[in-house]
Structure 1
Amino acid sequence: MAMNVLGLIGWIVGWWALLYVLIVFLSPGFTFLFVLPLGYCAYRFVAQLGYFFPAIRMRRILRTYPWRIVEQVPHGLTEHPDVPGKKNGWFEFANPARSEQRIPLVFPTHFRTEWWHRRMAPRAGARLKQEIETVWFAGDPRLVGLIAAPARSGSGPRRLHVLEQWMPAGNGRILTDWGVTPDDIERGRRVGVSPAPAP
């Protein structure tokens, strides 16, 4: 979150600094040289604003669910039979209530998933695939999750990304089949997920 704030401040300061140099030190003939840098600073400012909602959501997930390290998590970029619609990649995690049952979570958008996609691709080399053999996970796969790759030093998570539950919940019956309790639903609501209650 701090890096997002610093990035936002940096692009604002950069835009004003360029404008100051243009107005104070240069003649109007140099304006065309500053159009692209000023436009790029404005674009990056708007893009940086887009990072805040996911960062806030990640903090909410981490305040509600602890990190755990999971190995050999099934994943893919292809269609998953249990998840309708277009997906941007999926991971399957064990159901906390029924460990033999696996539940897929998907990347909700294509935004900032390139690093993950290169390692999840069927043609990825062994070295790339090895980087996601072990992942950090916080969340409940029946509702929402936060995935991260281990740092090279192994000391902590990096490349954090929110995963969402896209399986059709219908009238809440699937939640009952998954063993979701009222406490689980309440924890989900704390991170912004409002599943349909069971009938």
Structure 2
Amino acid sequence: MPPTHHPAAWDDPATRRAWAKLVTCALLGQILWPAAWLGLLTWYVTMSKTWTLWFFFVPLLYSFYRTFLQPSYISWAFRTRRLLRAYPWQVFEEPESGIGKVPGATAGDVWLSFPHPERPDEKLPMILKVHLRSMWWRRRLGRGYATGKAQQIREVWFAGDPRFAAVIAASGPRRFQVVQQRPVDKRGAADPRGADPAALARARRAGVRLPDADADSVTG
């Protein structure tokens, strides 16, 4: 069970260790993917047998893609830390999930729903964006908890506010994933959804951008 006595998830040593592993992998990727791309490119250019170049084409493209994608992993890791510093862990056994059929979701979107903080009988779905980071979760959600893979997320840890954004994790914690509500304007602002001032202030500390203030001006 998670350390519910902590006022914030970040206060738990296991959470900090899991985050340290996450950010270390992100920073190593920033070094290793460009090195892999340059190495493959050099080999590609210097190979004398033309037919062998096809073996390097796909790895070359993928390493190039990851080179430019990797900075987003680093910023994502630090956004995860802001949320973990602002909210405590909560545990949900077999949270409701599905594919499509909720507002804002396309036919293939996977989502989880969590109780509204002020109206527990009301559930708020949070959609997982299609991204490499979310694939582990997407393969396990939306089809019940009967399969072996789905059993791995039978217990979901949740740190955040489902009206805005949160970190979800498999029991441990492990497999951190940031989920958020769709923005309501082009600036990426979240819908306040009638939240009280304390909830809005906490959301801003966690890095959530709101229409009435720029969360980027708040240091986490």
Alignment TM-score > 0.5, same fold: yes
* Structure 2 residue corresponding to 1:62, chosen from 84, 88, 98: 84
Q: Distance in 1 between matches of 2:50 and 2:198?
A: 60
Other-structure match for 2:100: 78
User: CA RMSD of the aligned region, Å?
Assistant: 3.2
Matched, 1:102 2:123: yes
Q: Is 2:157–2:170's contact at 8 Å kept on the other side of the alignment? A: yes
Matched, 1:115 2:136: yes
* Structure 2 residue corresponding to 1:158, chosen from 155, 158, 174: 174
CA drift of 1:29 comes to 2.9
Note the 1:4-19 alignment, pairs <5 A: 4-17=26-39
Count matched residues. Answer: 181
Matched, 1:189 2:208: no
TM-score normalized by the length of structure 1: 0.73
* Structure 2 residue corresponding to 1:29, chosen from 48, 53, 66: 48
CA drift of 1:96 comes to 2.1
SS in 2 for 1:119: coil
String of CA shifts for 1:2-54, please: whole Å, max 9, x gaps.
1100111112333445567789xxx6636885663554432321232332232
TM-score normalized by the length of structure 2: 0.67
Q: Distance in 1 between matches of 2:191 and 2:32?
A: 48
Percent identical: 33
Q: Distance in 2 between matches of 1:190 and 1:32?
A: 55
CA drift of 1:106 comes to 1.6
Distance 1:68 1:48, change over 3 A: same
CA drift of 1:139 comes to 0.2
String of CA shifts for 1:114-156, please: whole Å, max 9, x gaps.
3222222437743232222210111011211111112xxxxx2
Q: Which moved more, 1:67-76 or 1:8-17?
A: 8-17
Q: Distance in 1 between matches of 2:92 and 2:41?
A: 49
